[in-house]
Chains A and B, each alone.
Chain A
Amino acid sequence: MNQPPVSSAAPETPSSGGSVFLAWAFVGIPLLWGVSQTFIKALDLFK
């Protein structure tokens, strides 16, 4: 049986641009590192 909708979410501070930037950096830096490593490897095809 469905329970009535209950939200116990804590009130949040609106997220700033800084937190968005940091979040993207957290995943973007390792991704860029991996892409750069693959790109360097791919260059072997053109040697």
Chain B
Amino acid sequence: MAEASLLDRSRTVAGPGYNRWLIPPAALAIHLAIGQAYAFSVFKKPLGALISGDPAAPAPADWTPAQLGVIFSIAIVLLGLSAAIFGKWLERVGPRKAMMASALCFSGGFFIAALGVHLHNLWIVYFGYGVVGGIGLGIGYISPVSTLIKWFPDRRGVATGMAIMGFGGGAMIASPLSVALMDHFKASGTGSLGVAATFLTLGVVYLLFMQFGVWTIRVPADDWAPENYVPNPQHSALITSGNVSADNALKTPQFWLLWIVLLTNVTAGIGVLETASPLIQDTFSDKYLGAGRGVTAAAAAGFVGLLSLFNLLGRFFWSSASDKMGRKTTYAIYFLLGIVLYALIPTLGHNLQLALYVAAACVIISMYGGSFSTAPAYLSDLFGKYQVGAIHGRLLTAWSTAGVLGPLIVNFLHESRKAEGFTGAAAYQTVFYTMAGLLVVGLLANFAVTAVNEKYNEKGPVDAEPGGH
């Protein structure tokens, strides 16, 4: 029998005494890196001025904001598609090989995009950062999920919350780092306003950083369990003791109900995130608050930063809380509280109550983050641990759909209101009421989630995948 590669699942089985608290940092190394995707907007201005050399005055042949927006859209669509397509492969080959594939694709995407920037060929950038990098995002996003759930059957929400929190935190690292690198390379005269050199540097840095995750990750032995672990101590009817395959999960109504749950919550959250900066500046402008008292562009950037922090904290807080409250209850809170807050925000804007307005937006975004991090644990409760990474990958197509739907809905409704002559908070009123309506749909879908019928369960032992340990 051929010796197994160091990347094979069989070579990642933890020996006795391996500390499970090494697994979340391994997962974080991947998610902190790929979370860079949320910071891609820092490249938009310099990328749109590669020919003129002045971001304030782009040349006619420079790439337009709309053309550049497509790069991120391709990456997010590929994230969902690759997570759905490669999920079963990941379950078969194990997390280490998947993390290595993710690292190679993600950093490779930067290298290809750097070439595209150097040659000023947008198609190469689309292919590099969008397609190749997007595949790295998708594989990386789901790579540690089922491993974390197997190591933390007693704290599924805490474990996946920690990892998925990293995806939110990645942008916070990448944004200032990218700006500093571009400033440095621009001053060094490397050309392309420092963007190509920054892409190359980020590709190398992320490749190395992700190696920590690749070589630290371990899967538990089949007979391993935490000390004093009691499965399903609260005897929740929703928590299965069976295992459903990824293919069978698609046949269950529960999967599609959760798909709607994620779609509605994420679409609504993206509605706020997409418009955060113009939203607060339009609603609390000098026109309404008096000359010199309106929210400035810098303060609006602070608002966006604050939302990012709550997005990060929500991922950990809500997911951890779901271990105590149960997933269904946690999602019910997202929806019920979300409906109230979305319906309230136009009134708070109309009454110029800035502090309450900001607080409401922060809570909404914390629940947006929470909906991502609670999803793997919800899936694990319903479908078991067997192929939860692959099922999660398929669920993420809801995120890709929301990534397209959310901005479309928001822009259409906002532009329609503006065309009718509404300004300030009134211009966004239908946006928020529509999002509240979407959350009602999500609430009903969550309410309809029941235990999965046992006929979908795998028969017999399932832990050893073909070629696995």
Using a CB–CB cutoff of 8 Å, the interface residues on chain A facing chain B are 1-3, 5-17, 19-20, 23-24, 26-28, 30-31, 33-35, 37-39, 41-47
| Given A5-B469, A30-B173, A31-B169, A12 contacting B309 (CB threshold 8 A) | no
Contact between A14 and B25, CB atoms less than 8 A apart: no
Determine how close the nearest CB of chain A comes to the CB of B96; give it in whole angstroms: 12
Contact between B28 and A31, CB atoms less than 8 A apart: yes
A19 to B28, CA, bound (A): 16
Q: Does B10 contact A (CB under 8 A)?
A: yes
Given contacts A8-B3, A28-B25, A45-B300, 9 further A-B contacts (CB under 8 A): A5-B469, A7-B469, A10-B15, A31-B28, A38-B308, A43-B302, A45-B299, A45-B302, A45-B306
Which secondary structure characterizes the binding site on chain A? helix
| Given A7-B469, A15-B18, A19-B22, A44 contacting B309 (CB threshold 8 A) | no
Residues of B within 8 Å of A26, CB to CB, are 25, 29, 212
The interface bits of chain B over 1-35 (1 if a CB of A lies within 8 angstroms of the residue's CB, else 0) are 10110000011111111110110011011001000
A3 to B468, CA, bound (A): 8
Contact between B176 and A9, CB atoms less than 8 A apart: no
Which secondary structure characterizes the binding site on chain B? helix
Partner of A41, one of B169, B174, B305: B305
Which residue from chain B places its CB closest to the CB of A26 in the assembled complex?
B212
A10 to B13, CA, bound (A): 9
Q: Does B352 contact A (CB under 8 A)?
A: no
A9 to B25, CA, bound (A): 21
Residues of A within 8 Å of B14, CB to CB, are 9, 12
Contact between A35 and B172, CB atoms less than 8 A apart: yes
Determine how close the nearest CB of chain A comes to the CB of B463; give it in whole angstroms: 8
Q: Does B238 contact A (CB under 8 A)?
A: no
Determine how close the nearest CB of chain A comes to the CB of B240; give it in whole angstroms: 22
A10 to B15, CA, bound (A): 7
Determine how close the nearest CB of chain B comes to the CB of A21; give it in whole angstroms: 10
Partner of A8, one of B4, B166, B172, B302: B4
Contact between A41 and B469, CB atoms less than 8 A apart: no
Which residue from chain B places its CB closest to the CB of A17 in the assembled complex?
B19
Contact between A20 and B19, CB atoms less than 8 A apart: yes
Q: Count of chain B residues with Cβ under 8 Å from any Cβ of A? A: 52
Which residue from chain B places its CB closest to the CB of A10 in the assembled complex?
B15
Contact between A5 and B312, CB atoms less than 8 A apart: no
Q: List 21 A-B contacts (CB under 8 A).
A: A5-B464, A5-B468, A5-B469, A6-B1, A7-B10, A9-B10, A9-B13, A11-B15, A14-B18, A15-B22, A23-B26, A26-B29, A27-B29, A28-B25, A30-B32, A31-B28, A38-B305, A41-B305, A42-B309, A44-B302, A45-B299
Residues of B within 8 Å of A10, CB to CB, are 11, 15
Residues of A within 8 Å of B301, CB to CB, are 41, 44
Partner of B11, one of A1, A8, A13, A37: A8
Contact between A35 and B15, CB atoms less than 8 A apart: no
Residues of A within 8 Å of B222, CB to CB, are 5
* Most-contacted residue by chain B among A6, A13, A28 (CB, 10 A): A6
Determine how close the nearest CB of chain B comes to the CB of A4; give it in whole angstroms: 8
Residues of A within 8 Å of B292, CB to CB, are none
Residues of A within 8 Å of B216, CB to CB, are 23
Nearest 3 A-B pairs (CB), nearest first? A14-B17, A34-B172, A45-B302
* Most-contacted residue by chain B among A14, A15, A19 (CB, 10 A): A15
Q: Within B290-323, which residues are at the interface with A (CB < 8 Å)?
A: 295, 298-303, 305-306, 308-309, 312
Partner of A47, one of B171, B299, B309: B299
